Chain A
Amino acid sequence: MDKDINIKVKVWRQNGPKDKGHFETYSLEKISQGSSFLEMLDILNEQLINEGKEPVVFDHDCREGICGMCSLYINGHPHGPDTGITTCQLHMRHFNDGDTITVEPWRSAGFPIIKDLMVDRSAFDKIIQAGGYISVNTGGVPDANAIPIPREDAEMAMDAAACIGCGACVAACKNGSAMLFVSAKVSQFALLPQGRVEAARRAKSMVAKMDELGFGNCTNTGACEVECPKNISITNIARLNREFLKAKLRD
């Protein structure tokens, strides 16, 4: 049964990108274990506002695990201690009475902190703009079954396309590498005939952009795969390696 618990939250507070930042610990009483983690933070912010203090800034949007907006490094895990979920899907029943919960922003050179727990993930948008699309002429609607696609390929492409671009892979990686994200975005097209047309150019330009933005070199620790809320597999990384090497060797 869900109980009401008393907890402490140790939150990273940072006024702006240039500010040094520090931890602040707040006490919260009678938090229902049935509430979500973000609802707990809402309660904290309400409490702070009532005390005349500045509320904690954190990213969130859909609160149903599909938009990729929420982040937060909670007690040593991106998206908290549960697996296969985003922070907004995390419930307080994963915590016990008297716990101190450490909440930090994603930390990586590619994701500079904007304020408190909010980081700038526009680097991911720039990587997508570098090649994470297919070019098609608009016009009449083509027959959906005109191009046969093996079911397995379609499934793998859909699995890769499940990536919501939240950045947990970068947050979990000791190398600050964005390879899981980039590999998912490359794989979802590389596996389908519509994506093959621009496959070589896509792999090269997305990897070049990823490197340019200061993400690290993947060393296959597999931390990203463990923490990914959408369970994206690191076999996508091997596929990206192959796509990139194939493209370079063909030059």
Chain B
Amino acid sequence: MSWLIDSSIGRKFVQSISGLFMVLFLLFHMSMNLVLIFSYDAYNFLANEVLGANWWAIIGTGVIALGFVIHIIYAIILTLQNRKARGKDRYASPSKTATTWSSQNMFVLGVFILLFLILHLYQMWYNMQFKELFMIEGARHDGAQLVEEVFSHLWVVIVYVIAFIALWFHLTHGFWSALHTIGWNNTIWIKRIKVLSNIVATVICLGFMVVAIAVHLGYSNLLG
């Protein structure tokens, strides 16, 4: 299994699989957020009873965290190696090769998303699962109300929306690129997976954005 570290395609394979795993997580996360629009009670039920500090939710959190850590460590390794492979001397004339902006800036976008993630975990997850787990005072069982409090600040909503836009750019390249790396080779399907990539990125980011803005404007908990 050392080829997952030693070979370039092995490293890319790990990066793809961990990335695709997080896309699945984001789809789940986005779906659960949508519940906020309809019912706070249903959301709190999901957060406390279905997830909460249950053993499966703790294992799940651990697996997701591992996915993130692997993805970030490999991103750093790959980026450093690629900078080295580029050589010491840079081109004096700026590249005019037509490529997508996101494909050239995946690491920068990733760093930005990571910074957002730290803020997000501190605002939400720390107050909900973490505090309950480690018996820290003030653990919140009314997750939906916490979300409402956090999103009542305009700056929070703005920061979140900017982060979702960064995520959109990251995913539009990341999703098809991951499928390409695990060997989805086909001259017809390459165009389709690029379109699919845009659809997945748009669905995820729009879902997140809608909830953040709806909660801020009070269009949430519609069914009580």
Query: Is A75 on the interface with B (CB-CB < 8 A)?
Result: yes
Given A21-B89, A177-B82, A217-B11, A238:B95 Cβ within 8 A: no
Binds B, one of A31-39, A126-134, A222-230: A222-230
Contact of A235 among B85, B90, B173, B187 (CB under 8 A): B187
Q: Are A214 and B84 interface neighbours, CB within 8 A? A: yes
Chain A contact-residue range equals: 35 or more
Q: Is there an interface contact between B180 and A220, defined as CB atoms closer than 8 Å?
A: yes
A216 touches B96 (CB 8 A): no
B93: shortest Cβ distance to chain A, in Å? 4
Does the CB pair B12–A217 fall under 8 Å? yes
Chain B positions within 8 Å of A226 at CB level:
97-99
- Say whether, besides A109-B86, A175-B85, A211-B8, A104 and B92 are in contact (CB < 8 Å): yes
- What residues on B are CB-neighbors of A89 within 8 Å? none
Asked if A227 and B97 sit within 8 Å, CB to CB, the answer is yes
Chain B: residues with Cβ within 8 Å of the partner, total of: 44
Is A218 on the interface with B (CB-CB < 8 A)?
yes
* Chain B neighbourhood of A176, CB < 8 A: 82, 85-87
Is B138 part of the contact surface with A, judged by Cβ < 8 Å? no
Instruction: Tell me the dominant secondary structure on chain A's binding face.
Output: mixed
Question: Does residue B214 face the partner (Cβ distance < 8 Å to A)?
Answer: no
Tell whether A217 pairs with B8 under 8 Å between CB atoms, given A237-B180, A239-B185, A241-B180: yes
In whole Å, how far is A165's beta carbon from the nearest beta carbon of chain B? 18
B63 at the A interface (CB under 8 A): no
Q: How far is the CA of A63 from the CA of B46 in the complex (A)?
A: 69
- Known A207-B8, A222-B103, A235-B187; contact A248-B82, beta-carbon cutoff 8 A: no
CB distance from A202 to the nearest CB of B (A): 14
30 sampled A-B residue pairs with Cβ under 8 A? A73-B93, A75-B93, A107-B86, A107-B91, A109-B84, A172-B95, A174-B82, A176-B85, A176-B87, A208-B7, A210-B8, A211-B6, A214-B84, A215-B8, A216-B82, A217-B12, A218-B181, A219-B82, A219-B106, A220-B103, A220-B180, A222-B103, A223-B99, A227-B97, A233-B187, A235-B185, A236-B185, A238-B183, A238-B190, A241-B181
The 3 closest A-B pairs by CB, nearest first: A242-B183, A216-B85, A238-B185
Chain B residues proximal to chain A, CB less than 8 Å: 3, 6-13, 78, 81-82, 84-100, 103-104, 106, 173, 176-177, 180-187, 190
- A interface residues (Cβ-Cβ under 8 A, vs B): 10, 12, 21, 23, 73, 75-78, 81, 102, 104, 107-111, 156, 172, 174-177, 179, 207-208, 210-211, 214-223, 226-227, 233-246, 248
